[in-house]
């Protein structure tokens, strides 16, 4: 019987994972890749064990993240060298490498991404195949709803088990000993403060999720229009809005941002732009400029990748794009800010808090594991659970390695 989430765990049918007869034949020759890694890991290192059981220290030229890795098969390096992070995940799923804690390894790779260069990126035909598969899932108007459903329509019951009670699926903003729920509320309030939300403010939220920001804004007196392409999110948000007695102040629409042509005093968008895709950045920013009144402001929370890494990143598809967020693309902040400026939108008061996202992801993983152990996530295969754990660890490591960041920024229509 089919289980929920199978469309994600079988994504490798579309993407190159480095598996081939030739790859298996030449696998032992990839031992030299260990030497290459040793030279290019400039900070931190790997306490490794090779397939024959012999120990091998890799890197350690300067202080940094330290990972413990056991290679069970040289095929793991074949996949890494030919299919990048997609292949490295496939190798982990197949037991070709293991680690007591993969997070430091992902942090190590990210912290050394510039010196590693293309070591962990798909190459040649593998890169072209993955790039084509990713392009076929581009967030064009006819495809965007399917891509969103692939991730968010796994079920409200699924997300309820490991998100905080507000059902906020984006980075929290921690202070002191905050609980996850308190840190999520602080993040929402920080965004609303950027927009000076008050009585009668007409607010558009692009990508409203399960409604937590819309509810908080309405409690400040705003009149809110929320957009989503997820039927599951819309149902949940409307129920919560009715429960809060705010149905007269909030309207949730199943609508693409490209189809909105109205006027709002303010626009909020939390970690939505990563789902847009690079091709659609101009259309997204056109939406902000078109729908803001003169002098109006937009507050965005977004995930960006180091500008030095973006060219390589954008030429293929990584693990996240292949398995987790179809059609997605992290921001290249300088390029995106330039596109905003060309549309008369300023770029003000940027605040980055990437390590807060690392802590958010860690909290989600603890809650996820507890839900699985308690049997509260029935209907999903063990393979799916392993994929989801890997996703949370992979992202946490990326933020700890500082190659990706999350930030809030204010864009004013000048």
Percent helix, strand, coil in the chain (nearest 5)? 50, 20, 30
- Annotated catalytic residue within 208, 287, 329, 395: 395
Q: How many CA atoms lie within 13 A of 133 on its CB side?
A: 24
How far, in whole angstroms, is CA 14 from its chain's centroid?
A: 20
Residue 380's CB is within 10 A of a number of other CB atoms, namely: 19
CA dist list (Å): 122 to 80, 83, 88, 294, 306: 8, 4, 10, 45, 18
> How far is the C-alpha of 402 from the C-alpha of 110, rounded, in Å?
7
Q: How many CA atoms lie within 13 A of 409 on its CB side?
A: 22
Beta bridge pairs of residue 269 = 300
Beta bridge pairs of residue 70 = 49, 98
* Residue that is written with structure tokens 């180091």 in the block: 306
- Cα-based angle 117, 302, 345 (whole degrees, multiple of 5): 110
Residue 262's CB is within 10 A of a number of other CB atoms, namely: 9
395 is catalytic: yes
Beta bridge pairs of residue 301 = 270, 408
Active site residues per annotation:
395
């Amino acid at each position: 019987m089919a289980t929920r989430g199978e469309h994600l765990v079988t994504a490798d049918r579309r993407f190159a994972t480095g598996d081939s007869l030739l790859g298996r034949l030449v696998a032992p020759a990839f031992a030299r890749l260990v030497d290459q890694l040793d030279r290019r890991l400039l900070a931190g290192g790997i306490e490794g064990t090779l397939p024959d059981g012999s120990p091998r220290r890799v890197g350690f030229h300067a202080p940094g993240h330290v990972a413990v890795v056991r290679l069970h098969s040289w095929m793991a390096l074949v996949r890494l060298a030919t299919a990048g992070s997609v292949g490295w995940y496939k190798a982990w799923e197949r037991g070709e490498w293991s680690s007591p804690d993969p997070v430091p390894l992902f942090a190590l790779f990210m912290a050394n991404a510039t010196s590693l260069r293309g070591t962990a990126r798909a190459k040649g035909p593998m890169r072209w195949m993955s790039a084509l598969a990713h392009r076929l899932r581009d967030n064009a108007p006819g495809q965007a709803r399917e891509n969103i459903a692939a991730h968010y329509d796994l079920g409200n019951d699924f997300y309820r088990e490991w998100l905080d009670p507000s059902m906020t699926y984006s980075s929290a903003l921690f202070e002191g000993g905050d609980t996850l729920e308190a840190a999520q509320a602080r993040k929402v309030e920080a965004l609303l403060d950027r927009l000076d939300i008050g009585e009668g403010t007409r607010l558009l939220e692009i990508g409203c999720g399960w409604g937590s920001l819309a509810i908080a804004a309405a409690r400040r007196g705003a009149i809110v229009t929320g957009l989503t392409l997820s039927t599951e999110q819309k149902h949940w948000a409307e129920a919560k809005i009715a429960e809060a007695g705010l149905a007269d102040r909030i309207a949730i629409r199943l609508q693409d941002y490209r189809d909105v042509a109205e006027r709002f005093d303010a626009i909020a968008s939390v970690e939505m732009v990563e789902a847009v895709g690079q091709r659609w950045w101009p259309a997204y920013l056109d939406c902000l400029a078109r729908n803001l009144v003169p002098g109006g402001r937009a507050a965005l929370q977004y995930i960006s990748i180091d500008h030095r890494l973006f060219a390589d990143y954008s030429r293929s598809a990584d693990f996240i794009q292949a398995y987790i967020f179809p059609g997605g693309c992290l921001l290249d902040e300088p390029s995106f800010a330039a596109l905003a400026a060309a549309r008369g939108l300023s770029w003000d008061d940027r605040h980055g808090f990437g390590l807060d996202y690392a802590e958010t992801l860690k909290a989600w993983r603890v809650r996820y594991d507890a839900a699985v152990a308690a049997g509260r996530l029935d209907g999903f295969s063990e393979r799916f659970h392993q994929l989801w754990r890997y996703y949370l660890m992979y992202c946490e490591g990326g933020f700890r390695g500082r190659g990706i960041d999350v930030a809030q920024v204010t864009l004013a229509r000048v």
